[in-house]
Structure 1
Amino acid sequence: MTNFIPIFPLELTVFPSEKLNLHIFEPRYKQLIEECAEHKKPFGIPCVQNGKVAELGTLVEIIEISNRYENGELDIKTRGIKIFKLLEVIQALPNKLYGGAIVHYPDNDTYPRQDLIRKLTVEVSTLHRLLDVTKEINSEGTALLSYDFAHHLGMSVEQEYEFIQLMREDQRLEFLRRHLHKIIPILKEMEELKSKIKLNGHFRNIEGFRFN
């Protein structure tokens, strides 16, 4: 299925079902948001990688315009809908300040894998404990998916873009688990190092070596 959508390229990755708050200040994107809100239409956020608009992005819907400022700037709340692939970017549209694109929506497996999700949840809890952070992962009453975890794992922009290229839920979950298996041992070593540093200068009760 192909479609034409207005686009708002950003240097970030938006995941389906993710909520994203944005402050809109550029005239072209103020126009885009006002028109999409008025007509209740979604728009696309293609990922910008290394100064270029990448092939994939996410269709998002406007939940609300939270604030309108006197200078025309806006605070908006959005939610990711689905992944798209850019087929053609149209930079100049008649009577518009913003651009658009013809896009294709690839088939994307989002069937819940609860057995894998349970394992991932345990590992994510370990990560957050080591980082001493509290994060609530919420799917708003629906079954948890890999996308619900992705922004809570400290991935780089490049890793997040690699992640949204995966169109099978089991592949995405395995990608996240591999990421956690790399960083959790490093964080555990850091915890041990911190403990050793804290002990420096303290009176320590250590039994001496016995030769006999």
Structure 2
Amino acid sequence: MNTLRLFPLGSVFFPGATMNIHVFEERYRRMVRECVEDDAPFGIALVREGTEVGDPSCNPHSIGTEARIMRCDPLPEGRFLLDVRGERRFSIVRLLAREPYLLAEVEYLAEPPPTAAAGELVARARAGLPAYVDLLAKMANVQLDMPDLPDDPVVASYVIAQTLQTNDAAKQRLLEVSRADERLRAELAVLQRATAALERIAAQRESAARGEPTTSGKRKDQERLFGVYFSPN
């Protein structure tokens, strides 16, 4: 039986991704101490019900990603700052405990070999991502680096999933897709819609700067594709 300590979060974590986590709750400080002592990973899963802070009754989504601690810096008051890297996807079979933290029996999810079409899907994503990243940077008025998209379809699918600035529900659906080529097709569809929406928003911003009337769909486009809290300003 595979058991895994769980850290429910309000964001989706993908294999191959990295994340900084500030650990301040006592139950998760204990979890980190045990993981470091055992040289063991923990699982990150998007919160489905409840909240990630101070809610022992929260329920995570059933599929998440194993997180390996790459660096653990102690902070005052027993807190930690972690650098973690995503490894295998897992599916929660059942929760074994809620105290002092969530402990689950999990099944690790294998990555089926990609189909012959996967290479072409990666090439299409590689061609489409620069315009999307450039539009995001212009909307947010920041410098964004174009991700290095590898040829391996499985790895590439997770890099794209991490790059797409879409809402958590959409990212969770991408994490749950079982095959890389299916994930890539879904990502290309999101990429196409998001790029078109960003182009509309950019055009509306330019029209507003010239004092021209604009349509009212800008905010709905943002919330549907990027989440309620996305702001290009």
Report TM bin, short chain.
Answer: 0.7 to 0.9
TM-score (norm 2): 0.76
User: 1:15 offset after TM fit, Å?
Assistant: 0.4
In the TM superposition, what is the alpha-carbon distance from 1:109 to its structure 2 partner? 2.9
Q: State the Cα distance separating 1:188 from its structure 2 match.
A: 1.7
Alignment equivalent of 2:168, drawn from 138, 151, 157: 157
SS at match of 1:7: strand
> Does the CA contact (< 8 Å) of 1:110 and 1:145 recur in 2?
no
Q: Residue 122 of structure 2 contacts residue 151 of structure 2 at CA under 8 Å; is this kept in 1?
A: no
Does 2:130 correspond to 1:120? no
Deviates more, 1:12-21 or 1:186-195: 186-195
Judged with a 3 Å threshold, the aligned counterparts in structure 2 of structure 1 residues 182 and 142 are, in CA distance, closer, same or farther, namely closer
Contact 1:135 1:152 in 2 (8 A): no
1:55 to 46, 53, 62: 62
Residue of 158, 168, 174 corresponding to 1:147:
158
Q: Quote how far apart the aligned CAs of 1:39 are.
A: 1.7
Cα displacement string for residues 46-87 of structure 1 (whole angstroms, at most 9, x for unaligned residues): 22124332111111110011x212211000100111111111
Query: Residue 192 of structure 2: which of 181, 186, 194 is its match?
Result: 181
User: CA separation in 1, counterparts of 2:49 and 2:195?
Assistant: 28
Q: Distance in 1 between matches of 2:31 and 2:85?
A: 16
Match of 1:23 in 2: 22
Distance change (3 Å), C-alpha of 1:179 and 1:64: same
| Counterpart residue number, 1:209 | none
Which whole-Å CA distance do the structure 1 matches of 2:180 and 2:13 have between them?
A: 16
Higher-Rg structure is: 1
Instruction: Write the distance in 1 (CA, Å) between the matches of 2:93 and 2:15.
Output: 20
More displaced, 39-48 or 20-29?
Answer: 39-48
Query: TM-score when scaled to structure 1?
Result: 0.83
Partner of 2:89: 83
Q: Which runs of 5+ in 1 are unaligned?
A: 202-212
* Contact 2:88–2:109 under 8 Å retained in 1: no
Q: Secondary structure at the match of 2:78?
A: coil
Deviations 1:147-197 (A, max 9, x none): 012122111010011111101010010111101121222222222233333
Q: What do you get for the CA RMSD once the two structures are aligned?
A: 2.2
1:127–1:92 CA distance, 2 compared to 1 (3 A): closer
Same amino acid, percent of matched pairs: 23
Higher mean alpha-carbon deviation, 12-21 vs 101-110, is at 101-110
Aligned to 2:44: 45
C-alpha distance in structure 1 between counterparts of 2:92 and 2:186, whole Å = 24
Asked if the contact 1:85–1:103 (Cα under 8 Å) also holds between the matched residues in 2, the reply is yes
Offset at 1:107? 2.4
Q: Residues 185 and 142 of structure 1: is their aligned pair in 2 closer, same or farther, counting only changes over 3 Å?
A: closer
1:135 aligns with 2:145: yes
Q: Which runs of 5+ in 2 are unaligned?
A: 51-58, 213-233
Q: Deviations over 1:101-148 (max 9, x none)?
A: 001112223649333212102211111122225224247x88451101
